[in-house]
Structure formats: C-alpha cells, structure tokens
Structure 1
C-alpha cells in the first residue's frame, strides 16, 4: 500500500493501479458491489502467501478461495468467513480483481527489473511468470509458477491481443513507476510485478526494491547480460 499510494495519486499512473483500500467490512462490501472478484492480501507479504480471492458466481453465491481450497457462501457471510482466514497480527488490503490474460490457459503476470547505473533507469530483466494451473490464485514462482521468456508468452496468448502494444505499455508504465517512486524513495534497483488483463490493459500490482532475480539468467540470456553489466556499473559508480 505504501508504494502504491504515490502511483494512485499520480494523474498518469492512477488509471493503471487496481482499486485498493485497507481491508474492513465497509471496504470489502464496496468492492464486492463494484467488481466480480476481489483479492485480500497481507500489506506486507512474501511469495504470494496469505492471499484470498473472493469471486462472484451469482447474485446469491460467492466463492472464497485460499491456498488450494474453495468454498461457497452467501454474500452477507463473506466478511465473517474471510476474517477467519486472516492472521490477526497482520494488516490487509482489499483490491479489485484483474481478469488476467492467459498463456496455454494459465494466468500470468510480468516481472520487470529496472536498474539505474548512470543516472537513468534501464529495464534490464523481464520474465512472464506463468501459473501452474488455470485455477491458480497467484503467479508467484514460490507457488509453482514458472518464468518464461516474455516475448514468447505475449506472442502465444490465448487472447487475440497485440504483443507490441502490450510491450510498449509495459515499458512506459515501468519507467513511469520508477521515476515516481524514486522521487519519494532512494534506490537503484526496482522489481515490478505488472499484470495484463484479457483486454490487453497493463496494471501495476507490486513494487520491490530488493527483487529476487534467481533463475532469470536462463530466461533471456541477452537481457541477463545487460543486467550484469548495469550491476557492475552501479558497483563501480
């Protein structure tokens, strides 16, 4: 939430940030009235742990999914049931659900790593994190997703979308996000999780100033060499 707020207040970026609020009875009720699915997430979390999806199946029935289980409830019972799944020691946000584009029927999101070796931001690593199943809640590698070459995934989408337009938007939004966040916080590397919906719109999901880049050397060797070169420049500078 902390890193999303500057983006939500920016005239350009706010249209790319999903509707987000602190979790509570009123905020969950508002989101359920507006959207067909919402996500409840720990405000500070790692590797996709603790995420809950609430999805509308009909006017009288919503599905609550957590980990590998799903249960059905009437809409007026959802808040109570979600509360039972939460860690009382953590703060949670509630967020508009994004209907993710799919590759081989599985949802994915895009990881973009930017570095600032010579005073300006460069996108030096990219991958598409493809979930293991069509029903997967999250696209985290720690939860079974696999890193794929992003160009290959965008060219092979199940939806009929322009891969070049999506790539352009991914780059524009990544650089805008880096500039906005860097004006508030000091860092030289930024990992972004960006989503692509079934209409081809790109969404900001999360920013991390200490991204884990393990395994990406085999996804795109050309990009990875660019990443290593930028890292070397940052260390020498």
Structure 2
C-alpha cells in the first residue's frame, strides 16, 4: 500500500513554502464537512488510500440544498439528508479526508491540472515529464483512468494566460514546488518516483492537489512529443537496476 494522503499532507504542511499552496484538509467527519461547507462553496471527500480518481465525492452548495456527486452519479439533497447521501458513496471500511474544493482553470471547456513526473535515478530529483491533465467532458476529476487526456502543459498555460512572461513564471514556480515536494516526502520515505498534481486557478494561483508515490505514466503516451515518455521509461529501468 502506498503512503496515505493525510501523511503526505502533514509532511508538506511542515514546510512554510508548501503550506500556502495546500488547500485546507482534515479527516472526514460529519461536523467537519458541514463546517467546511459554510466556508467554501464546494468540498471534496477523498479516500486516504487510492488513486486514479476512484471514490472521490464532490459536495457543492446550491441556493437551496446540496449536490452530492461521485463519478457520473449525482444526488440533490437538503441539509437533513446530506450526511446520508455522502455516506452512500463511501466504503464503510475506508478512511476519508475532506478537502476544500478548488475552482480549477479550464482548457477548451474542461477543467485541467498539471502532472509533474519526478524521478530520482541517482542522487538528485529531476523532472522527467510535465503535462496538463484535461478532464473528460462533464467530469470533475482529471485522471487518465476517468477519461482525462494529456496535453502539452505550455500550450494549455499559453491559452490561459496569453502573456508569455506569465506562462514562463508559472512553469518556473511549478518546477520549484514539485522539487520541494519530492525532497520533503523523500525525507521520511524511501521513494524514487513521485507524481505531483498541481491545480491552477484562472488568476494563476497554484494549489497542491496530490503527491502520488506510485505514479502512472500512461498520460505521457498521449503527448505528440515522446521525449518525456522515453525519459520516464529510461529512468524506470535505471531505478530498477540500481535499487530493486
């Protein structure tokens, strides 16, 4: 089993540089979810262990009541039935987090985030690949397993910001945050690969969505430029030979 989301979140919280990029996150309880819905218009409830966007529940505050959504299923409820509706989508045996919902920027009408593929084949962490993960239509998660597709990150950011300087600054910031995340988590865990997922708002604010210690590389097969994919596969072979 991989490193739990809450453990990684707490480790990143200790770094002041990362703290400002972390959305408010707590263990899920009925009281905590209701309290966060008073502060934010939407929240996400995520399994502590798990990947691929499976089992994530989004709760959205409406003018009258709430929309509770998991995958393509959705329920509209009032306050009295909210907790029951949320619980119907959760596995009784699993532990869940509740997290502030982000308003991610869009590319061609669909939300996107950035996947940064970090690897450490030798002594230092390096970025093997960067791509935008664009959600499938009508989805609120961007994961490849849920129909998300890969697009060159620079192309997506250029469409969002228009100004070349802003694109350059954002990519530089993304790289800096990703390297710091990898070093922070590596301090307490023996890892050689990390998939960093960063959310970007319309105004350019960057949020840390997830740091996956078992990242998939299929997203990079969809890019027309195969250089990142070849680099990822080469480093995977190096890591296997040296450390496994």
TM-score, structure 1 as length reference = 0.91
Corresponding residue for residue 80 of structure 1: 84
Q: Which runs of 5+ in 1 are unaligned?
A: none
Q: Does 1:136 align with 2:139?
A: yes
Superposition deviation, residue 191 in structure 1:
1.2
Q: Secondary structure at the match of 1:181?
A: helix
Corresponding residue for residue 61 of structure 1: 65
Superposition deviation, residue 114 in structure 1:
0.9
Q: Does 1:89 align with 2:93?
A: yes
Q: Does 1:48 align with 2:53?
A: yes
When residues 236 and 44 of structure 1 are mapped into structure 2, their CA distance, relative to the original with a 3 A threshold, is closer
Indicate the RMSD between aligned Cα atoms, in angstroms: 1.9
Matches within 5 A, 1:31-46: 31-46=36-51
Q: Does 1:146 align with 2:146?
A: no
Corresponding residue for residue 130 of structure 2: 126
Separation in structure 1 between the aligned mates of residue 104 and residue 203 of structure 2, nearest angstrom: 9
Superposition deviation, residue 43 in structure 1:
1.0
Corresponding residue for residue 211 of structure 1: 215
Separation in structure 1 between the aligned mates of residue 219 and residue 102 of structure 2, nearest angstrom: 27
Q: 1:227 aligns with which of 225, 232, 243?
A: 232
Q: Secondary structure at the match of 1:94?
A: strand
Separation in structure 2 between the aligned mates of residue 46 and residue 218 of structure 1, nearest angstrom: 19
Corresponding residue for residue 17 of structure 1: 22
Q: Deviations over 1:170-189 (max 9, x none)?
A: 11110010111111111111
**Segment drifting more, 194-203 vs 97-106:** 194-203
Separation in structure 2 between the aligned mates of residue 81 and residue 231 of structure 1, nearest angstrom: 42
**Segment drifting more, 22-31 vs 66-75:** 66-75
Matches within 5 A, 1:150-229: 150-157=153-160, 162-219=166-223, 220-229=225-234
Separation in structure 2 between the aligned mates of residue 115 and residue 41 of structure 1, nearest angstrom: 25
Q: Deviations over 1:50-101 (max 9, x none)?
A: 111111122x322111221223222343222211221111111110000001
Q: Secondary structure at the match of 1:156?
A: helix
- Contact 2:198 2:206 survives alignment (8 Å): yes
TM-score, structure 2 as length reference = 0.88
Q: Secondary structure at the match of 1:2?
A: helix
